[in-house]
Amino acid sequence: MTMTRRLHAGRRAATAALGLTLLLALTGCGDDTDGRASVPEGWSTLDTDSLSVGYPKAQGYTEQPAAERSRSNAAVALKVEDGIRTGMVSVQLNFATGVSDAAEAAAAAGAGIGLGSTRKATKDVRLAGPSPARDARRIDYDFTADGKDDTPNRGTPMTGVLVAGVDSSGVPFVVRLNAVKGAVAGEDLDAFVGSITVK
């Protein structure tokens, strides 16, 4: 009788443990919200005080030295072909005032896309990093190059994606990838967004 009770108790404990494991898997409690985002193979990372983001190094992007980039950018990676800047990943911090959440950050960042651009999609995304800094907004858009500052010839079709939010210290950020249309696959744009870790 004692052996039977022990067997039932053991089965109940095993069932409870299995149930807890399944519950954790289903609720995502095992997800490390403070962890780092995955960066695809062949990519490198731009690292700033507010976030880190991947860029496709294997596709010809290289990090721009601090002395050469605009003062408004905290980090930049460029793809330059025959002297023309055909792709750019940039990070701007504290780019707007009075911004306290992802919606406000996206509104401010979206205003800077330009009059000649066409928004394709806007959606909320969740980034790696501490909550609530994980909340961000993604905007996909198309535009045409203006031919200035070593960019492609005026009128060249371009595509872009930006991600805006606020880090855990309340600093607004916007991360952009702009490139000649068709040069960056849709899955690479998704990978770019998925590579962001907010601090």
At 125, which helix (H) or strand (E)?
Answer: strand 118-126
Burial class (CB in 10 A: 0-12, 13-18, 19+), 67: exposed
- Tell me the H-state helices in the chain: 2-27, 102-111, 186-194
Measured distance CA(84)–CA(171) in Å, rounded: 32
pLDDT in tens, the chain (199 residues): 444 444 444 444 444 443 433 333 333 333 344 689 999 999 999 999 999 999 999 999 999 999 999 999 999 999 999 999 999 999 999 999 999 999 999 999 998 887 779 999 999 999 999 988 999 999 999 999 999 989 999 999 999 999 999 999 999 999 999 999 999 999 999 999 999 999 9
Structure tokens at 168: 């855990």
